[in-house]
Amino acid sequence: MDRVALRGLKARGHHGVFPREREEGQTFIVDLVLGLDTRPAAADDDLAKTVHYGIVAEEVVAVVEGEPVNLIETLAERIAQVCLKHEGVQQVEVCVHKPDAPITVPFDDVTVTITRSRV
């Protein structure tokens, strides 16, 4: 399976279990790896035969900016389902970063990574 990756998609969302997170929001960063067969697109040099990653990026940002959820696990699942709606995408790995998580000790990042497929 071939892979198309999008790294560092940034969007402001209001996800989290604490009132401050819901009220103020914070930046979330999403990395995606889409699994698909790119041979038909490459053979014909045809965008219609692959995934349009610009559209995927817009849809993922809309999910992050959309309805708040408590957990980034839930956010990752919603993002995965949006990606799998694209014809040809057989598998997706989603990594959601929450670099401003409400943690009381020094840290660089919090991430949740999931892999989902069409089976």
Active-site residue set: 98
In Å, how far are 36, 43, 56, 93 from 72, measured between CA atoms? Answer: 25, 38, 19, 14
- Give the helix ranges, DSSP H, for the chain: 19-24, 39-44, 53-65, 72-84
